[in-house]
């Protein structure tokens, strides 16, 4: 496990379709925000609460 840089626990504000192949999940929490593409079939929708963790990967 690497060094944790940031953790965001927030409600998804918007799910955008990206060319029918994936979705972009977006939200803002004060100065922190996320915008991440995920494969279709994830089952997430606007209003769902998720956790996004950014950490340096040890190889």
CATH of the domain at 46: 2.40.50
Which residue range forms the structural domain that includes residue 18? 4-55
Per-residue confidence (pLDDT) for residue 57, from 0 to 100: 86
Say whether pLDDT at 58 is over 80: no
Per-residue confidence (pLDDT) for residue 28, from 0 to 100: 83
Per-residue confidence (pLDDT) for residue 40, from 0 to 100: 94
Say whether pLDDT at 1 is over 80: no
Give the total number of structural domains in the chain: 1
Residue whose C-alpha is closest to residue 47's, from 17, 9, 12, 8 = 12
Token reading at 15: 């799910």
* Tens of pLDDT, residues 6-56: 888 999 999 999 999 999 999 987 788 889 999 999 999 999 999 999 999
């Amino acid at each position: 496990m690497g060094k944790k840089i940031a953790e965001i626990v927030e409600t998804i504000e918007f799910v955008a379709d990206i060319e029918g192949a994936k979705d972009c999940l977006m939200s803002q929490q004060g100065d922190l925000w996320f915008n991440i593409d995920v494969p279709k079939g994830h089952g997430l929708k606007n209003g769902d609460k998720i956790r996004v963790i950014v950490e340096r990967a040890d190889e």
